[in-house]
Structure 1
Protein backbone atom coordinates (compact mmCIF):
# COMPACT_ATOMS: atom_id res chain seq x y z
CA UNK A 1 0.00 0.00 0.00
CA UNK A 2 1.33 3.47 -0.90
CA UNK A 3 1.75 6.53 1.23
CA UNK A 4 -1.03 9.10 1.54
CA UNK A 5 0.86 11.30 -0.91
CA UNK A 6 1.20 8.47 -3.46
CA UNK A 7 -2.46 7.50 -3.09
CA UNK A 8 -3.55 11.10 -3.52
CA UNK A 9 -1.34 11.55 -6.59
CA UNK A 10 -2.68 8.37 -8.16
CA UNK A 11 -6.26 9.56 -7.81
CA UNK A 12 -5.93 13.07 -9.21
CA UNK A 13 -8.63 12.34 -11.77
CA UNK A 14 -11.21 11.95 -9.01
CA UNK A 15 -10.76 15.66 -8.22
CA UNK A 16 -10.85 16.86 -11.83
CA UNK A 17 -13.31 19.63 -12.66
CA UNK A 18 -14.26 17.89 -15.90
CA UNK A 19 -15.95 15.13 -13.92
CA UNK A 20 -18.70 17.61 -13.07
CA UNK A 21 -19.51 18.52 -16.67
CA UNK A 22 -22.68 17.23 -18.29
CA UNK A 23 -21.00 16.46 -21.61
CA UNK A 24 -17.61 14.72 -21.57
CA UNK A 25 -17.43 15.21 -25.35
CA UNK A 26 -16.87 18.89 -24.60
CA UNK A 27 -13.19 18.01 -24.10
CA UNK A 28 -12.89 16.32 -27.50
CA UNK A 29 -13.72 18.98 -30.10
CA UNK A 30 -13.71 17.88 -33.73
CA UNK A 31 -13.05 20.09 -36.72
CA UNK A 32 -11.69 23.57 -37.14
CA UNK A 33 -14.67 25.90 -37.45
CA UNK A 34 -16.13 28.53 -35.17
CA UNK A 35 -18.12 25.99 -33.16
CA UNK A 36 -14.97 23.95 -32.53
CA UNK A 37 -13.15 27.09 -31.40
CA UNK A 38 -15.99 27.93 -29.00
CA UNK A 39 -16.09 24.36 -27.69
CA UNK A 40 -12.33 24.42 -27.11
CA UNK A 41 -12.59 27.68 -25.20
CA UNK A 42 -15.45 26.32 -23.09
CA UNK A 43 -13.41 23.22 -22.20
CA UNK A 44 -10.36 25.35 -21.37
CA UNK A 45 -12.54 27.50 -19.09
CA UNK A 46 -13.42 24.38 -17.07
CA UNK A 47 -9.73 23.48 -16.90
CA UNK A 48 -8.80 26.97 -15.73
CA UNK A 49 -10.65 26.35 -12.46
CA UNK A 50 -9.54 22.75 -12.03
CA UNK A 51 -7.56 21.90 -8.88
CA UNK A 52 -5.58 19.21 -10.73
CA UNK A 53 -4.92 20.99 -14.02
CA UNK A 54 -1.13 20.57 -13.80
CA UNK A 55 -1.37 16.87 -12.92
CA UNK A 56 -3.66 16.41 -15.91
CA UNK A 57 -1.29 18.23 -18.25
CA UNK A 58 1.71 16.29 -16.95
CA UNK A 59 -0.14 13.01 -17.45
CA UNK A 60 -1.20 13.97 -20.99
CA UNK A 61 2.36 14.90 -21.95
CA UNK A 62 3.84 11.74 -20.49
CA UNK A 63 1.13 9.52 -21.96
CA UNK A 64 1.42 11.20 -25.35
CA UNK A 65 -2.28 12.07 -25.55
CA UNK A 66 -2.97 13.61 -28.92
CA UNK A 67 -6.73 13.95 -28.78
CA UNK A 68 -8.78 16.25 -26.62
CA UNK A 69 -8.24 19.02 -24.13
CA UNK A 70 -6.00 17.95 -21.23
CA UNK A 71 -4.67 20.26 -18.57
CA UNK A 72 -6.12 23.25 -20.38
CA UNK A 73 -4.19 22.55 -23.60
CA UNK A 74 -5.02 21.40 -27.10
CA UNK A 75 -3.17 18.79 -29.11
CA UNK A 76 -1.31 21.53 -31.00
CA UNK A 77 -0.29 23.28 -27.77
CA UNK A 78 1.01 20.03 -26.27
CA UNK A 79 3.00 19.28 -29.42
CA UNK A 80 4.63 22.72 -29.17
CA UNK A 81 5.43 22.13 -25.50
CA UNK A 82 7.00 18.77 -26.29
CA UNK A 83 8.99 20.23 -29.18
CA UNK A 84 10.36 23.04 -26.97
CA UNK A 85 11.18 20.56 -24.24
CA UNK A 86 12.98 18.27 -26.68
CA UNK A 87 14.96 21.21 -28.08
CA UNK A 88 16.03 22.26 -24.58
CA UNK A 89 17.11 18.72 -23.70
CA UNK A 90 19.09 18.17 -26.89
CA UNK A 91 20.52 21.68 -26.83
Structure 2
Protein backbone atom coordinates (compact mmCIF):
# COMPACT_ATOMS: atom_id res chain seq x y z
CA UNK A 1 0.00 0.00 0.00
CA UNK A 2 1.25 3.48 -0.73
CA UNK A 3 0.05 6.98 -0.03
CA UNK A 4 0.53 10.28 -1.86
CA UNK A 5 3.51 12.18 -0.52
CA UNK A 6 3.75 15.86 0.32
CA UNK A 7 7.01 15.92 -1.67
CA UNK A 8 5.27 16.08 -5.02
CA UNK A 9 2.15 15.08 -6.86
CA UNK A 10 3.76 12.17 -8.63
CA UNK A 11 5.72 10.97 -5.61
CA UNK A 12 4.40 7.99 -3.66
CA UNK A 13 5.61 6.83 -0.29
CA UNK A 14 5.38 3.41 1.28
CA UNK A 15 2.71 3.02 3.94
CA UNK A 16 4.07 3.21 7.46
CA UNK A 17 3.04 3.59 11.11
CA UNK A 18 1.58 7.09 10.51
CA UNK A 19 -1.21 5.53 8.46
CA UNK A 20 -2.38 3.71 11.62
CA UNK A 21 -2.32 6.74 13.94
CA UNK A 22 -5.54 7.52 15.81
CA UNK A 23 -5.09 11.23 15.01
CA UNK A 24 -4.94 10.71 11.24
CA UNK A 25 -8.45 12.10 10.82
CA UNK A 26 -8.18 14.71 13.59
CA UNK A 27 -8.14 18.40 12.81
CA UNK A 28 -4.52 19.65 13.04
CA UNK A 29 -5.42 22.22 15.69
CA UNK A 30 -6.71 19.39 17.89
CA UNK A 31 -3.21 17.93 18.13
CA UNK A 32 -1.50 21.32 18.53
CA UNK A 33 -3.55 22.79 21.38
CA UNK A 34 -2.84 26.02 23.20
CA UNK A 35 -2.10 25.59 26.88
CA UNK A 36 -0.26 23.28 29.22
CA UNK A 37 -0.66 19.70 30.42
CA UNK A 38 -3.88 19.93 32.46
CA UNK A 39 -5.80 22.20 30.06
CA UNK A 40 -8.90 20.54 28.52
CA UNK A 41 -7.63 20.95 24.94
CA UNK A 42 -4.37 19.20 25.84
CA UNK A 43 -6.29 16.41 27.60
CA UNK A 44 -8.43 15.96 24.47
CA UNK A 45 -5.27 15.57 22.37
CA UNK A 46 -3.92 13.04 24.87
CA UNK A 47 -7.16 11.06 24.50
CA UNK A 48 -6.32 10.50 20.82
CA UNK A 49 -2.85 9.30 21.79
CA UNK A 50 -3.97 7.00 24.59
CA UNK A 51 -6.17 4.98 22.24
CA UNK A 52 -3.59 4.94 19.45
CA UNK A 53 -1.99 1.66 18.32
CA UNK A 54 1.22 3.49 17.36
CA UNK A 55 1.70 5.75 20.42
CA UNK A 56 5.22 4.41 21.00
CA UNK A 57 6.31 4.92 17.38
CA UNK A 58 4.92 8.46 17.42
CA UNK A 59 6.82 9.40 20.57
CA UNK A 60 10.05 7.87 19.27
CA UNK A 61 9.63 9.72 15.97
CA UNK A 62 9.09 13.01 17.81
CA UNK A 63 12.13 12.44 20.01
CA UNK A 64 14.33 11.57 17.03
CA UNK A 65 13.09 14.55 15.01
CA UNK A 66 13.35 17.04 17.88
CA UNK A 67 16.60 15.74 19.34
CA UNK A 68 18.03 18.18 21.87
CA UNK A 69 15.63 20.98 20.91
CA UNK A 70 14.43 23.03 23.84
CA UNK A 71 10.81 23.13 24.96
CA UNK A 72 10.20 26.26 22.87
CA UNK A 73 11.01 24.29 19.71
CA UNK A 74 8.70 21.32 20.29
CA UNK A 75 5.09 21.58 19.22
CA UNK A 76 1.93 19.59 19.63
CA UNK A 77 1.02 16.50 21.59
CA UNK A 78 2.89 13.44 20.32
CA UNK A 79 2.94 10.05 21.97
CA UNK A 80 0.65 11.60 24.66
CA UNK A 81 3.34 14.10 25.72
CA UNK A 82 3.41 17.87 25.26
CA UNK A 83 6.48 19.64 23.92
CA UNK A 84 7.48 20.64 27.48
CA UNK A 85 7.15 17.03 28.64
CA UNK A 86 9.20 15.70 25.71
CA UNK A 87 11.94 18.26 26.42
CA UNK A 88 12.01 17.16 30.08
CA UNK A 89 12.14 13.51 29.00
CA UNK A 90 15.14 14.22 26.81
CA UNK A 91 16.94 16.19 29.55
CA UNK A 92 16.45 13.40 32.12
CA UNK A 93 18.39 10.87 30.10
CA UNK A 94 19.55 12.13 26.70
CA UNK A 95 21.44 8.95 25.85
CA UNK A 96 18.67 6.51 26.67
CA UNK A 97 15.35 8.29 26.08
CA UNK A 98 14.14 5.65 23.63
CA UNK A 99 13.91 3.05 26.38
CA UNK A 100 12.11 5.35 28.80
CA UNK A 101 8.54 5.02 27.59
CA UNK A 102 7.04 1.75 26.45
CA UNK A 103 3.53 1.17 25.34
CA UNK A 104 1.56 -0.97 27.72
Indicate the SS of the match to 1:61: helix
Question: Normalized against structure 1, the TM-score is what?
Answer: 0.74
Question: Normalized against structure 2, the TM-score is what?
Answer: 0.65
Gaps of 5+ in 1: 1-7
CA drift of 1:78 comes to 0.2
| Alignment match of 2:93 (pick from 80, 85, 89) | 85
Gaps of 5+ in 2: 1-13, 67-72, 98-104
Q: CA RMSD in A?
A: 2.5
In structure 2, how many angstroms separate the alpha carbons of the residues matched to 1:44 and 1:60?
15
- The number of residues matched between the two structures is 78
More strand by share: 2
Q: Which residue of 2 aligns with 1:5?
A: none
Higher relative contact order (CA 8 A, sep 6+): 1
Q: Which residue of 2 aligns with 1:76?
A: 84
Structure 1 segments (4+ residues) deviating >4 Å: none
Indicate the SS of the match to 2:93: helix
In structure 2, how many angstroms separate the alpha carbons of the residues matched to 1:55 and 1:88?
16
CA drift of 1:87 comes to 7.5
Indicate the SS of the match to 1:59: helix
Q: Which residue of 2 aligns with 1:38?
A: 40
Q: Deviations over 1:15-57 (max 9, x none)?
A: 0000132x2210101245x8xx111000001100000000000
